[in-house]
Chain A
Amino acid sequence: MRFSTFIYTLKQGIANIFRNKWYSLASIATIGACLFMFGIFYSIVANFQYIVKEAQNGVAVTVFFDEGLSQERIAEIGSLIEARTEVDHVNFVSADEAWEGFKEEYLGEYADGFKDNPLKNSSNYEIYLRDVSMQSALVSYLESTEGIRLINKSEITAKTLTSINSLVGYVAIGIIIILLCVSVFLIANTVTIGISVRKEEINIMKYIGATDFFVRFPFVIEGILIGAFGSLVPLGIVYLIYSNVIGYVLNKFTVLSSILKFIPVNEIFHTLIPVSVCIGVGIGFIGSFTTVRKHIRV
């Protein structure tokens, strides 16, 4: 193919957008509406999971050791725990650190009456999990480990967080399916309009002796550009809504700011921009490709 032919077909693709202004606008609006819903939904789900994850990070399993257990064995237990796949990280709290923490939290100045450390057998490991749903597996392992006297765990918190996580997962899948169905329906309608607009033009090209590529390329370029525009518009709107809503919530409800942590807008868009543009361009490409394919075998 000549370079000039390539440039010509590329220009035709761009010109097609302006030739069929209303069709282009309808397509951009359709893709934009789908991706707007996707952007809003993604922001909500991502924040929800972020908040749950933050809560999970605070859940720890604490293990205490048998009296008089050697430092070597304690270190060995630490290494065994760290090697477990469900473990994110482990903190060793010595008996002195445990006493200092207890004094600070519960006793204050009354602690001066104690000469020795009453918690001398309370050195422990605080174990933080990658996923709280794995807590029971870890606890079973710890129970069978020699040298461990006591395991402190919060089963209710772990179960609640696991349930919330599962619920968010199911709701996310459900909404994605609904969004996909709506998108497919809207896009199928837009493509049908496109077929009626283009049928004659494609026929003429084929009768004159245009190759499939020559016919298809401008349409595909047009589809890709429409998809790209269709993704950029909702991204801009979601950006404005997101930054304003987060700012409003944190300013108006200051109590919430200590409990809830939202993902910064830049971090959300770090994922949302490439995903939305890929979906938009993908929809545009597939839509235009299939529209032309139906009529290309003349």
Chain B
Amino acid sequence: MITLDHVSKSYSTGAPALNDVSVHIETGEFVFIVGDSGSGKSTLIKLLLRELLPTSGTIEVNGVNVGKLKHRQIPKFRRNIGVVFQDFRLLKDRNVYENVAFAQRIVQVPGKQIKKNVPSVLSIVGLAGKYKARPKQLSGGEQQRVALARALVNNPPILLADEPTGNLDPKNSWEIMKLLEEINEKGTTVLVVTHNREIVNAMKKRVVTMNKGVIVSDQKEGSYIDEI
């Protein structure tokens, strides 16, 4: 599903953000990527989304060599990856329904189908009753649910979550993680970048720990490593 083979990424200045990283994630896995700031987690997400290109090594996602994608092929590639960010990144001037429907319109789903799919996915994330609300009328947890609904509505085989609980209180954080677990149980591969020690330790999932651009630990039912 996701394979990084000796991947390095250097920016023009400073030490490499990723240094000879190799990791393989199977279809249907739930994986935490943990590490301090500057450990290379965000660079990893950007490489998987083809926002950046690796300096060396190969990245394969869904059988696609990401480094060889042409610019015009990137949109289609990204439609197979649902993505959730710490700051939600919702379109502020559109309501909940429009934010989710937008992802369907991009892949040119017929209007009738959109009208069925959007309420369905909103009910999964528990926001069926708030489809008319604007993002600023929602709590942080609710906004993240909208982002999650948007990421899921096109049924992507992979879901990337970059610090999805970073702006949420513990209760909302747990609710989001439970949703991610449910999504994973339905077959979606879930990759979560997080700092949240309690959640990582409680969920007993695979944990990949990064430090200064290298993978220092890869535990099957792992926990958060404090001292590296």
Contact = CB atoms under 8 A, between A and B. Distances in A.
A122 B110 CA distance: 87
B110 A2 contact: yes
Interface in A196-211: 200-201, 203-211
A212 B73 CA distance: 11
Contact of B75 (A1, A19, A209): A209
B23 interface: no
A212 to B, nearest CB: 8
Contacts of B72: 211-212
Contact of A210 (B83, B89, B106): B106
Interface string A194-230: 0000001101111111111010000000000000000
Nearest to A208: B103
B111 interface: yes
Nearest to B99: A204
Nearest to B90: A204
B76 interface: yes
B75 A211 contact: yes
Contacts, number: 49
Q: How large is the interface on A (under 10, 10 to 19, 20 to 34, 35 or more residues)?
A: 20 to 34
Contacts of B108: 1-2, 5
A8 B89 contact: no
Contacts of B75: 206, 209-212, 214
B71 to A, nearest CB: 7
A85 interface: no
Interface string A243-283: 00000000000000000000000000000000000000000
A62 B90 CA distance: 80
Contact of B51 (A2, A5, A205, A298): A298
A4 interface: yes
B107 interface: yes
A204 B51 CA distance: 12
Contact of A208 (B77, B78, B93, B111): B78
A130 B188 CA distance: 80
A203 B111 contact: no
B79 A207 contact: no
B20 to A, nearest CB: 27
Contacts of B76: 209
Contacts of A209: 75-79, 103, 106-107
Interface of A: 1-2, 4-5, 8, 19, 200-201, 203-212, 214, 297-298
